[in-house]
Amino acid sequence: MTMASVSKTFSNGTAALTDVSLTVRAGEFVSLLGPSGCGKSTALRIMAGLGGVSSGNIDWPASRITSSGRPDGDISFVFQEPTLLPWRTVAENVYLPLQLQGISRKAAQPRIEEALSTVFLADFAKAYPRELSGGMKMRVSIARALATRPKLLLMDEPFAALDEITRQKLNDEVLELWKSNGLAVVFVTHSVFESAYLSSRIVVMKARPGRIHEDFPVNVGIERDADFRTSESYRLTCERVSHSLGAAMGGEGH
């Protein structure tokens, strides 16, 4: 996925993004980090093909483009909220993207089961969303995103509303998913620590107007597991990211 000098101005005149160029390659884990209002979520929406750009180009070279100018089925999105349909069971929620592609329930069944077992919710297929905890709902949301077997997974602060323990657990699970599936992930977050733990590359953004401050690889060749969280290299990564973020914030006189 490639964005070339993309700018986006909202109808009220706010410049959300100016001159953003970013290429996400297969198998990368990119975090978009920055203060609120720096256009992280807007950038993510543009990557998903939601909402047009004011100038610049966006292309998905590896995907088939549909008649509406959007990549076909290769991109999935996990929102800040689980956004499950309350009238559908867990399995039916995971089935939704496949159903919208016109795949029959029977043909989709193996994929639904596979996606649910990836997030350890195989036993909850028949439950309704209201019966699940916040972390489980988020897992269903991830399973739904995986059901289409995407090449690129876009996550918009997916764990912001969860408690720290659940959040760490889900971080590990996402990391595991990324390692085993070979998909590219773009992860929007406010958290230095989360981005330092998860990413193979971090893009720090600046606000007003939203633009890229710095773009650098992290954790090159390091195995990330429970030990990594307490290691010196993790601390160094955090320091590196914090400084970059500090510089991005400092530039506007906070």
Give the H or E element holding residue 188: strand 184-189
Does 79 sit near other proteins (CB under 8 A)?
yes
Side by side, the strands of the sheet bearing 211-217 are: 75-78, 152-156, 184-189, 29-33, 201-206, 211-217
- Quick one: 21 or 99, whose CB is closer to other proteins? 99
Cα 175 from Cα 254, distance rounded (Å): 33
Does 70 sit near other proteins (CB under 8 A)?
yes
- Quick one: 70 or 240, whose CB is closer to other proteins? 70
Does 26 sit near other proteins (CB under 8 A)?
no
Cα 155 from Cα 141, distance rounded (Å): 11
- Quick one: 103 or 249, whose CB is closer to other proteins? 103
Minimum distance from residue 86 beta carbon to other proteins (Å): 5
> Binding other proteins by CB under 8 A: which of 77, 124, 159, 187?
77
Does 86 sit near other proteins (CB under 8 A)?
yes
> Binding other proteins by CB under 8 A: which of 128, 169, 215, 228?
128
> Binding other proteins by CB under 8 A: which of 11, 69, 106, 130?
130
Positive/negative CA dihedral, 114, 116, 120, 126: negative
Cα 33 from Cα 199, distance rounded (Å): 11
- Quick one: 92 or 173, whose CB is closer to other proteins? 92
Residue whose entry in the numeric block shows the structure tokens 């977050």: 189
Rg (CA), the chain: 18
| Size of the residue set binding other proteins (CB under 8 A) | 26
Minimum distance from residue 170 beta carbon to other proteins (Å): 19
Residue whose entry in the numeric block shows the structure tokens 């750009």: 53
Does 62 sit near other proteins (CB under 8 A)?
no
Stretch that binds other proteins, among 24-32, 79-87, 112-120, 160-168 (CB under 8 A): 79-87
Q: Which amino acid is at 189?
A: T
Give the tokens for residue 27: 């198998």
Provide CB contacts within 8 A for 168, sequence distance 6+: none
Minimum distance from residue 177 beta carbon to other proteins (Å): 19
- Quick one: 122 or 127, whose CB is closer to other proteins? 127
Distance set, CA 175 to CA 135, 155, 185, 216, 244 (Å): 16, 13, 10, 19, 23
What does the binding site for other proteins look like in residue numbers (CB under 8 A)? 48-50, 66, 68, 70, 72-73, 75-77, 79, 81, 83, 85-87, 96-97, 99-101, 128-130, 148
